Structure 1
Amino acid sequence: MTTPTALIVDDEADILELLELTLLRMGLDVERAMTVKEALTRLQTKNYQLCLTDMRLPDGVGLEVVKYIGSHCPDTPVAVITAYGSTENAVEALKSGAFDYISKPVSLEQLRAVVKSAISLPETKSTKQSVEDSTLLGDSAAIKHVRSLIEKLARSQAPVYITGESGSGKELAARLIHEKGGRHDKPFVPVNCGAIPENLMESEFFGYKKGAFTGADQDRDGFFQAANGGTLFLDEVADLPLVMQVKLLRAIQEKKVRKVGANQEDPVDIRIISATHQNLAACVESGKFRQDLYYRLNVIELRMPSLREMSDDVPSIAKAILVRLAKEIGVAASELMPEAVAALKKYDFPGNVRELENILERALALCGDSKISEEDLYLTPQAETTSIAPDPNGKWPLPDYLDRVEKEAIMEALEKTRYNKTAAAKLLGITFRALRYRLDRLGID
């Protein structure tokens, strides 16, 4: 194999010397450029396996190099070197297609981590290959766009913010970004931020030292340490309390974490992918979510389409789910009758793919043979109560009345527990998962 070659772009001789020595010791060949013009000239005549560029150059800015590489050398990962504390420059570089960024003064440990991640990036696959390898099923324009974007995001280290309704496949998208990127052989650590009690959050995220508190009988790593070198997926990030948001922001900015009870910080190298079904921008406006953390997480947004937007894909997705379920229980795959397929295509799917899986799993248990009929699906009737005259006392239609009672009870429990979902579920006498399901079904944000 040929030795990978890196192009380093900076107008400061001492920085160039530091970068070159470090990369040479890591086994790379190195070429230098001191201006935007010189860098572009080199990129036009040679292929590089890595590019490091300063943001400020005598004849322009490093973003020009980043954008040129994005357009003409998509297989070349590029990282920018930014002034200390220049968050805006770092975010702008990531949005322009930079693989990662390094803050001045340059930390050799961070530089080596960035280079290792960049050099391990897989080669770009063709669109046909990427679609065939993908586990996101469907041929609709919406899901094709998602697959295409995942291929691009996998080749970056930029934080990704995934939006979409509950059950639309946000965690699956995060896993695909991880598996197709340079960190694929490192851990993928998913965290449900809404399921962690507030008093345990810091120790769960950052770990703790022995004796830090009652019951801490040994050192323990947190989510950040567990994901070191890989990807940390923060699901339902909007549920984080404000105090934890401050600590999370600092950990992301400094790329260091301090265990509870520790005296020093430990460096961590992770990629952050976050997701929520809530409107995070609205949470920022209402004061529930910090604006500076929002901009740190929402560098690139990936929106997962709802199943309603992919109605033509429902039959193929349903078939794949049935094959998987049959394999799990060791039987032949059941077949959907034509009227069952038609009913599924017309169904609204408020719970998206997760709800489709539940419907089919139930149908498999209820159908008498290998054919699943429309009756076996037990779909919730939609918009069938409009012809019934409303009850002046509000007690029918019965489903609407029961939904109102349930919603009032949940809202009262949430208010009593100051919107702590774990405590509210306990007060209601149901599991946290059951509460989450009811919140989604009743549209309580």
Structure 2
Amino acid sequence: MQEKCVLLVENNKNETAAMTSLFNRAGYRLSAVSDGYAALDIISGNQYDMVISELNLPRMSGIELLVKIKEIDTNLPVILISGDVCVKEAVEAMKNGAYDFLLKPLAAETVECIVSGIYRAPVVAEQPSMNGKYAIITNNSEMNHLMNYAEEIANSRASVFIHGESGTGKELFARHIHQNSARKDKPFIALNCAALPETLMESELFGYEKGAFTGAIARKKGKFEAADKGTILLDEISEMDYQLQSKLLRVLQEKEIDRVGGTESVPVDVRIIATTNRNIDNLIHEEKFREDLYYRLNTIPLHLPPLRERQDDIPLLADYFIKKYNKLENKAVKGMTENAITALTERSWKGNVRELENVMERAVLLCKGNLIDEKLLSLNGRSVPAFHPGSLLQSVIPEVSLRELEKKVIFQTLDKTKGNRTHAADILGISVRTLRNKLNEYRQKMDEQ
């Protein structure tokens, strides 16, 4: 496959370094500049497949840069990113032709979804075996049973609803189903329903027609059309707006979509796989999720067990991650001590496989010898306990209102998770959408002061 070239416009050196590492690991060559004028200069003399730009840039904003890029090359995909975004800016970006608007920090899965969507190449086509990029590593009998069941139902047209805690591998199972189906050579398109503002979700799913709104200078296909004849993954579907759920229900019933601003329905042939880490029964009771949509999606239910219920997989997964990061970081770690293995198996792993991978990546990087011992599984020689937001209350001044207390806990949790909103929402026991709304509320009050 020909190497794809990406231009990053970012004035924060730490963000640039992180993004460079992320895209290099995904197999894409990334060049970086620090402002819009430099970006325009380099675009005019080079061929890029995609531009990713920070929204808040010095001298020229990301949206201004977007407009100027579109004047040079209408077909060049431009993605705007920001750690703090309001709905107004996101809508303005999409109206001016942005391919997508994403919140930082970007995860590896998000990068793959972006690239697969732009290049219209099914991501799973490059990893057809269990040794591939999206491997499911397990010796656990329940997991093997679930994998066999997933393969049995893979060729069905029926919708699949995958339930499980964050980090248990729901997207991996979705890809496993797709790869074992007759649709495996067609697109696999993943969309995180919690990552986009509600006002953009409809056009992202169903696309829009030229002239549908100011700035819609050309027709844009949505994720459903991009996934035609293939599979679409609606990740964290429990975060989808209640009103939009009724339109998704129609797609399931009629097998057709309506573009925003369109007058004719467009037939689509798409296998839908949905995931959630929340209790759907509670959401239905609270009238936050449509019961009729749930029954349509839940034709084939799958429930993935948390890592603490498959302890026999922990040493196997740890070994897999050691080999993975040996290769990525040019290390030569051979394995773990018995004490290290015991420490891993005794941990509760509330972040599941994702948390285990983070711990093993750090251990490989810090290991100076051939074996990882239990001290390398911790920071400053202490064990790394599961983080609980309740412990934050010890540092909160008691003479504050309940609203101020809530705000302090949210910001301190974000600080602990290094700004990762999905992880912070999991810790706080709220949805990503609720967290985003809270942050927008705090920002609006600051603007009013």
Aligned to 1:294: 294
Shift in Å at residue 155 of structure 1? 2.7
State yes or no: 1:381 paired with 2:385.
Answer: yes
Separation in 1, partners of 2:397, 2:428: 9
* Residue 381 (structure 1) shift: 3.2
Give the TM-score of the pair, scaled to structure 1.
0.60
| Cα offset, 1:196, TM superposition | 0.9
**Cα distance 1:439–1:403, how it changes in 2: closer, same or farther (>3 A)?**
farther
Q: Report how many residues are paired.
A: 293
Corresponding residue for residue 279 of structure 2: 279
Once the two structures are TM-superposed, the CA of residue 410 in structure 1 deviates from its matched residue by 9.8
Does residue 1:316 correspond to 2:302, yes or no?
Answer: no
Q: Is the 8 A contact 1:327 1:333 kept in 2?
A: no
Q: CA deviation at 1:326?
A: 1.6
Give the corresponding residue for 2:255: 255
- Provide closer, same or farther for how the CA distance between residues 225 and 277 of structure 1 changes in structure 2, counting only shifts above 3 A: same
State the Cα deviation string for residues 144-180 of structure 1 (Å, max 9, x = none).
Answer: 2211211112131210000000000000000000000
Provide the residue aligned with 1:435 in structure 2.
421
Retained in 2: the 8 A contact 1:403–1:442? no
Deviation of 1:409 (Å): 7.1
- Please report the TM-score for the alignment, with normalisation by the length of structure 2: 0.60
Distance 2:326 2:376 in 1: 16
Aligned position for 2:97: none
- Aligned pairs for 1:25-424 (under 5 A) are 135-378=135-378, 379-381=383-385, 401=394, 412=406
Once residues 385 and 420 of structure 2 are traced to their aligned partners in structure 1, the CA distance between those partners, rounded to angstroms, is 22
State the secondary structure of the residue aligned to 2:310. helix
CA contact (8 A) 2:333 2:367 kept: no
Distance 1:208 1:403 in 2: 47
Q: 1:376 and 1:220, CA in 2 relative to 1: closer, same or farther beyond 3 A?
A: same
Aligned 8 A contact 1:142 1:309 in 2: no
CA distance in 1, matches of 2:276, 2:185: 26
Structure 2 unmatched ranges of 5 or more: 1-128, 432-449
Residues in 2 aligned to 1:167 and 1:375: alpha-carbon distance in whole angstroms: 24
Residues 262-292 of structure 1: CA deviation (Å, up to 9, x unaligned): 1111100000000000011221111100111
Distance 1:219 1:166 in 2: 35
Q: Residue 164 and residue 402 in structure 1: after superposition, are their counterparts in 2 closer, same or farther (change >3 A)?
A: farther
Q: Unaligned 5+ residue runs, structure 1?
A: 1-129, 386-394, 415-423
Matched letter for residue 319 of structure 2? K
> Partner letter of residue 260 of structure 2?
V
Contact 2:166 2:351 in 1 (8 A): yes
Q: Counterpart of 1:194 in 2: which secondary structure? A: coil
Q: Is the contact between residue 337 and residue 372 of structure 1 (CA under 8 Å) also seen in structure 2?
A: yes
| Greater mean alpha carbon deviation, residues 364-373 or residues 157-166 | 364-373
Q: Which runs of 4+ in 1 moved over 4 A?
A: 130-134, 397-400, 402-405, 408-414, 428-433
User: How many Å apart are 1:404 and its aligned residue?
Assistant: 11
Fraction of identical pairs, as percent: 41
Q: Which amino acid aligns with 2:385?
A: P
Paired amino acid for 1:173: F
Structure 2 distance, partners of 1:404, 1:250, is: 50
Aligned to 2:76: none
| Distance in 2, Cα, partners of 1:244 & 1:213 | 19
Find the residue that maps to 1:273 and give its secondary structure: strand
Instruction: Report the CA distance between 1:368 and its aligned residue.
Output: 2.2
Partner SS for 1:331: coil
Q: 2-side partners of 1:189 and 1:380: how far apart?
A: 36
Mark the CA change 1:341 to 1:194 in structure 2 (over 3 Å): closer, same or farther: same
SS of 2:165's partner is coil
Cα distance change on mapping 1:377 and 1:430 into 2, 3 Å? closer
